[in-house]
Structure 1
């Protein structure tokens, strides 16, 4: 029948057609999205598999068809967030579009952004994800700043601090209710410029 129901052969009446099974890739994406929301609320240790099951509206059986353990699922969540972030912002260089791209990526997945930079950064077992991104960001920043900051020590300082300022500023922007993107990008840019200007200051002679 056109509405998806069918009549049994004995004429006993209409019966519902079997529910259509979700494709494996779609189910995995559903589980990862639900796990991201659940983990973003309380972090890895305080989030149980039952929390994820409840968030996804599935059974544990379905969950275990895709992930061997909570740690396995958490790693998959972080890999998904990192992949999306690198796709949105790029991983090769910085330009005038980097901060707006970072804001758009955070707006598109605020739970994932917070999870990666607020929780995973403080979890020794999973810190590798933020360390990898942070190391790459520091290296790129140093390429940009090394020639314009005369003192190599202050250039290294600014190269480490600029990515941290950018990430913390975006998280604060999310927490503040995501005020205007253009204004946010401008303000974050000014904060970063403040770090760079501070690094360029001449040292005051010690007394």
Structure 2
């Protein structure tokens, strides 16, 4: 485990980036509630005093990580439409920073303090999915169902892909796209009762 290295003076921006990277790793192991500031300081190789010079609280540190993850994701994937390149972009964003992706879509959803952020992400994803699916699924409960299921299934599929060691990155996007297509097809077609 890294030892506190208080003698190495980094420029403020570099030290802050170092703390954010280390905190992301630490939070990704146990989530917000079960990760202490001492664990984060040790992971970053700094003291708690140095942590408090950069962040007023553990919650502020976590929120900063989540905000950065959201910004990187929006930059990579976009926010208003899911074109053919959305799934590969989502996989690329997740593989660039798996810990931040897991924090955003696995851990933060369980933390009451950050519910407003995760709820707004969920609402936005459902709205975009609904807009795209409305072209092929009639308005009604099945459109609602597919609009809610596809964003959840997609992020869960990406996390499962990360957790499985990122197998076959060349075909992963197409496999996820096939699952999404299956959901939209099930919602668009009435079941055959013959």
Do the structures match in fold with TM over 0.5? yes
Per the TM alignment, residue 20 of structure 1 is displaced from its structure 2 partner at its CA by 6.7
Any stretches of 5+ residues in structure 2 without a counterpart?
1-6
Map Cα deviations across residues 78-132 of structure 1 (whole Å, 9 max, x no partner): 1111111111111121100000000000000000111111110011111222222
Provide the C-alpha distance between the structure 2 equivalents of 1:78 and 1:124, rounded to a whole number of angstroms.
14
Say whether residues 1:25 and 2:13 are aligned partners.
yes
Q: What's the Cα RMSD here?
A: 1.5
Q: 1:187 aligns with which of 169, 172, 175?
A: 175
SS at match of 2:112: coil
Are the counterparts in 2 of residues 146 and 152 from structure 1 also a CA contact under 8 Å?
A: no
**What's the CA shift string for 1:57-97, capped at 9, x where partnerless?**
01111111011111111111111111111111111211000
Q: TM-score, with normalisation over the residues of structure 1? A: 0.86
User: For 1:23 and 1:69, how far apart are their aligned partners in 2?
Assistant: 21
Corresponding residue for 1:128? 116
Corresponding residue pairs, total: 187
For 2:8 and 2:169, the matched residues in 1 are separated by 41
- Quick one: higher RCO (CA 8 Å, sep 6+), 1 or 2? 2
Corresponding residue for 1:14? Answer: none
TM-score by length of 2: 0.91
Q: Which runs of 5+ in 1 are unaligned?
A: 1-18
CA contact (8 A) 2:157 2:176 kept: yes
Quick check: 127-136 or 89-98, which moved more? 127-136
